[in-house]
Structure 1
Amino acid sequence: MRKGWLLMLTAVLLFTTACGANGEMGTKGTGAGGEAGQSTLAKAREQGYITVGFANENPYAYKEADGTLTGEAVEIARVILQRLGIEEMRGELTEFGGLIGGLQAGRFDMITAGMFINENRCMQVAFANPEYSIGEAIAVQKGNPLQLRSYEDIASSGAKVAVMTGALEIEYLEKSGVADSQIVIVPDQDAAVNALQAGRADVITMTDPALRSRLEAAQDDKLERVEAFEQPVIDGSSVRGYGASAFRQADTEFVEAFNDELAKLKQSGELLEILERFGFSEAELPGEMTAAELCG
């Protein structure tokens, strides 16, 4: 009798293990946010809201003085999510360098931070198709005392450059010959401006729309954006970047639904209308570029 019970128990354990291995009887493998058998998208639709990660980076995603979450990435996602049946977005403020880790840990279910698509990030998250395309920029003290017009100039001059933690500009600077000792890592863009104002850095760098917005907010006539800045060429290619929302890699259903609605925004002209509200122009539209092409 005991032998019969033992055989039954073994069979149950083997069946349970097999189901767990192929995922058919557990979650659908579409995100940590979903309950058993329920995708992240389905759960968000059911509960009526989704939590998004952002880094308080103007003009991509930031909170206004009254606590309103906005920015180009946020407003594009807001329209798309509402059309997918998700009415509310709840923001989870995170340092830029911690956004991917926060997504993977389930602290939020997507990243709306205007994050650039690159091959390293593609190995960690699933990107939607790009919503904009932009270049880099630098700002210095008025008069540009060190005559900095490129990342190579920063490298050769020994200038201190402030850059936000986790930003792709760190890699660009390093590949342009800027020494680690020259790079001043700061938590966010406003801290970079503060470092330049206080003399802890000789130059700051970020994407062009972000730099324009931070200089406008600072209202400091002792600072200036370098108009003749030369775009970096890294590994033989221009670093003009493409930004997009990001999801957990298992959330393929969500990404596909998001992309379908994003394509409709492009076709109708609504995408450009949203971008223009945050200082972008038609020149910053992503064209026909896709996340698959950028991920390689």
Structure 2
Amino acid sequence: MTASLSRRRLLTRGALLGGLLAVPGLTTACSRTEAGTGATAGDGDLLARLREQGHVRVGFAGEAPYGFQDGGELAGEAPTLHREVFTALGVPELRPTLTEFGSLIPGLLAGRFDVVSAGMAITPERCAKVLFSEPEFVSPTALMVRKGNPEGVSDLKSCAAKGATVGVLTAAVEASYAKSAGVREGSVTTLAKQQDGLDALLAGRIDAFALTGISLRWLARTNQGAAVEVLEPFVPVVDGVEQHSPGGAVFRQGATTLRDAFDEELAKITGDPARYVRLIGKYGFTEREVPPRTLRTTDLCAG
């Protein structure tokens, strides 16, 4: 079954940090691009050049747990996986450039960095401009509830059956998931940011907060001691289509050699769930986020 590409707006993830973080010594260099392609001149031998110089420039958007600064170090799902991959490729150093999420692809195309390390969703619209790796993760939906799960819910269908009030983020796809599952419109509460969802739960204004399991586990971690729990993730189905919401690394269109080498090393990680969790489990990623082997970027880009 083909996975749907709709997912919550990625910019909402930045609310977990309360804004962008400053990173000292960020690179701002530009490179000449081939007219009309967005490819930087010389991208065909980019991997060789990266190996020679010993570092790769990565763009990130300061969004936990996908890519952010922690104690002066580049951290998160994408930088951790990418550091492992690039080290295996003979490029041991990641040099970060912080930018707004919406500026990541323009910055990549302008040559400010060589790869985007931000857990970016793979969509046909983006595939028209850039190259994506194979999926690094999928992001099943989950529910955060009050400790003990007093309403006894497990997924959005059970919320509909029990008449539970569900919180979702503004402009997020979880609202459509709830509607598809049968949750009444009057039982859906829209919230501005992740922390608002946890606060609404504790205040009893909602019975469940729907978001990706990745983000909810991180939210629980950053609110240690709060009387909430995150339930087992599930994959919503809308119009018969599973909503896997995959994300990956991003390259310029001319960098096929680099992308293909990256994919080869990435497959060694995603093909070993224990290694995958060992690397990024501390950021809330579990075996449930390991992308299925049948989920391919070629199909995702085709829509």
Q: How does the TM-score come out when normalised to structure 1? A: 0.66
Letter matched to residue 86 of structure 2: L
1:149 shift after superposition: 4.0
Tell me the distance in 1 between the aligned counterparts of 2:224 and 2:182.
32
Tell me the distance in 2 between the aligned counterparts of 1:74 and 1:226.
27
Count of aligned pairs: 263
Letter matched to residue 140 of structure 2: G
| CA pair 211-175 structure 1, distance change in 2 beyond 3 A | same
| CA pair 203-27 structure 1, distance change in 2 beyond 3 A | same
Are the aligned partners of 1:161 and 1:182 in contact in 2 as well (CA < 8 Å)? yes
Residue of structure 1 in register with 2:229 after alignment: 224
- Give the SS at the match of 1:218: coil
| CA pair 267-161 structure 1, distance change in 2 beyond 3 A | closer
1:53-72 equivalent positions in 2, closer than 5 A = 53-58=60-65, 60-64=66-70, 66-72=71-77
Q: Identity across aligned pairs (percent)?
A: 32
Tell me the distance in 1 between the aligned counterparts of 2:164 and 2:112.
40
User: Is 1:161 paired with 2:129?
Assistant: no
Tell me the distance in 1 between the aligned counterparts of 2:51 and 2:170.
34
Of the candidates 271, 286, 299, which is equivalent to residue 293 of structure 1? 299
| CA pair 81-225 structure 1, distance change in 2 beyond 3 A | same
Indicate the structure whose relative CO is greater, using CA pairs within 8 Å and at least 6 residues apart: 2
| CA pair 61-44 structure 1, distance change in 2 beyond 3 A | same
Letter matched to residue 168 of structure 2: A
1:175 shift after superposition: 4.8
Are the aligned partners of 1:135 and 1:207 in contact in 2 as well (CA < 8 Å)? yes
1:20-169 equivalent positions in 2, closer than 5 A = 27=34, 31=38, 34=40, 36-37=41-42, 41=46, 48-58=55-65, 60-64=66-70, 66-82=71-87, 83-85=89-91, 87-92=93-98, 94-95=100-101, 103=108, 108-123=113-128, 125-142=130-147, 144=149, 148-152=153-157, 157=163, 159=165, 161-163=167-169, 168-169=173-174
Letter matched to residue 90 of structure 1: P
Deviations 1:154-183 (A, max 9, x none): 678583523376x65455346556659843
Deviations 1:114-163 (A, max 9, x none): 33434455445432012234421011334556665433566785835233
1:219 shift after superposition: 1.6
Q: How does the TM-score come out when normalised to structure 2? A: 0.65
Of the candidates 225, 243, 246, which is equivalent to residue 242 of structure 1? 246
Letter matched to residue 183 of structure 1: T
Letter matched to residue 34 of structure 2: T
1:232 shift after superposition: 1.5
Tell me the distance in 2 between the aligned counterparts of 1:148 and 1:125.
40
Deviations 1:220-255 (A, max 9, x none): 44323245x754212213323433222344543432
Tell me the distance in 2 between the aligned counterparts of 1:168 and 1:104.
28
| CA pair 221-191 structure 1, distance change in 2 beyond 3 A | closer
More displaced stretch, 283-292 vs 114-123: 114-123
Q: Which has the larger radius of gyration?
A: 1
Residue of structure 1 in register with 2:213 after alignment: 208
- Give the SS at the match of 2:222: helix
Are the aligned partners of 1:53 and 1:103 in contact in 2 as well (CA < 8 Å)? no
Are the aligned partners of 1:133 and 1:241 in contact in 2 as well (CA < 8 Å)? yes
Tell me the distance in 2 between the aligned counterparts of 1:254 and 1:203.
43
- Give the SS at the match of 2:145: strand
Tell me the distance in 1 between the aligned counterparts of 2:175 and 2:111.
26
Residue of structure 1 in register with 2:23 after alignment: none
The unaligned stretches of length 5 or more in structure 2 are: 1-31
RMSD of aligned alpha carbons: 4.2
- Give the SS at the match of 1:215: helix
Which structure is higher in helix share?
1
Tell me the distance in 1 between the aligned counterparts of 2:157 and 2:270.
36
